[in-house]
Amino acid sequence: MNEAYFKEVPLGEILSNKHVIPEMKSESKEAAIEELVALICEKGLIKDKGEALKRIFAREELASTALGDGIAIPHARLDVGKNPVIAIGRHKAGIDFNAPDRGDAHLIFLVLWQPERPGLFNRLFAGLVSRLADPNFRESLMNAKDAKTIANAVADVKVDMLAGRAAKWEADILVTLQLMEAKKSAGARGLKKKIELARDELPGSMLSRFDRLITRYGEALVEAPEGICQGCNMQLSSGLASEMQRNSDAVYVCEKCGRFIIHHIG
């Protein structure tokens, strides 16, 4: 399967209405994930339920997969064959997924992907979050009468590289990875697997820059809350500063020192 496939295939070719739970019963994040994993296991899409749960929970420990606006996309790398495995759960009451806006998750998209295909989570997420950023679309999913209607509503969402709020995950992973690297340098042990998991989440070009910046400065990501890079203390261009104000969750690069910058870390 080549790269063109991932840029062109609609979710309708991957997702079935049989993989949608329109009325979830779980009362916690962990239980909700277990409910969705149980569904795809029951449908024969995965063989090892325990391994799937282990990897998903390990990913959640790195950084929350909640986007805010009632959306969460828990995920992990797992050998599931040539196609990603996707399940959708709708929870009318909402579940706490540690979202950045502190709101509950009502629409939960579970994604599993085979480990030898790095970076494709970001592609899949970008297409989803681009559509889910529309409040009218989210409302249509919440009001959909059944599983088939929900599946049909997302059927034309493409697996591609769209710009959007998927960058929030990159920021979270960069922060987490930088913290773990600092702890490792200070002598902390037991971080190897978590560091590997975090590195697997990042695109190759971003990871290469991260490593160069850590080697040069000891830090790769800093804040720039008032349009001033906290790494080199230089003023950003007005255009970049304005863009960061409009998209405060996205990751940018300082024009002066080359560090990754974000409006606010936390």
- What's the rounded Cα separation, in Å, for the pair 237 and 59? 35
Q: Please give the average per-residue pLDDT across 91-98, as a whole number.
A: 95
Would you state the pLDDT for residue 2?
39
Would you state the pLDDT for residue 6?
44
| Amino acid of residue 57 | F
Would you state the pLDDT for residue 3?
43
- What's the rounded Cα separation, in Å, for the pair 89 and 33? 9
Query: Which DSSP string corresponds to 29-94?
Result: HHHHHHHHHHHHHHTTS-S-HHHHHHHHHHHHHHS--EEETTEE--EEE----SS-EEEEEEEEEE
Which helix (H) or strand (E) covers residue 111, if one does?
A: strand 105-113
pLDDT at 218 over 60: yes
pLDDT at 5 over 50: no
Say what the alpha-carbon torsion angle 35, 132, 177, 103 is, to the nearest 10 degrees: -70
End-to-end CA distance of the chain: 39
Would you state the pLDDT for residue 116?
58
Q: What's 168-262's CATH class?
A: mainly alpha
Would you state the pLDDT for residue 67?
87
- What's the rounded Cα separation, in Å, for the pair 264 and 7? 32
Q: Please give the average per-residue pLDDT across 94-110, as a whole number.
A: 93
Domain limits, the chain: 3-161, 168-262
Q: Determine how β-strand 85-95 pairs with β-strand 105-113.
A: antiparallel
pLDDT at 1 over 50: no
pLDDT at 173 over 60: yes
Q: Please give the average per-residue pLDDT across 21-42, as a whole number.
A: 96
pLDDT at 148 over 50: yes
Q: What's 3-161's CATH class?
A: alpha beta
pLDDT greater at residue 81 or residue 21:
21
**Structure confidence at residue 8 as a pLDDT band (50, 70, 90):** low
pLDDT at 220 over 90: yes
Topology agreement, domain 3-161 and domain 168-262: no
Would you state the pLDDT for residue 252?
87
Helix and strand totals (H; E) in the chain: 10, 9
Whether the pTM exceeds 0.85: the reply is: no
What phi and psi values does residue 92 have, to the nearest 5 degrees? -60, -40
- What's the rounded Cα separation, in Å, for the pair 172 and 168? 6
**Structure confidence at residue 235 as a pLDDT band (50, 70, 90):** very high
Query: Which DSSP string corresponds to 209-227?
Result: HHHHHHHHHS-SEEE-TTS
pLDDT greater at residue 187 or residue 125:
187
| Amino acid of residue 124 | L
Say what the alpha-carbon torsion angle 125, 126, 127, 132 is, to the nearest 10 degrees: 80
Would you state the pLDDT for residue 124?
67
**Structure confidence at residue 130 as a pLDDT band (50, 70, 90):** confident
- Pinpoint the alpha helices (H) of 84-157: 120-132, 135-143, 147-153
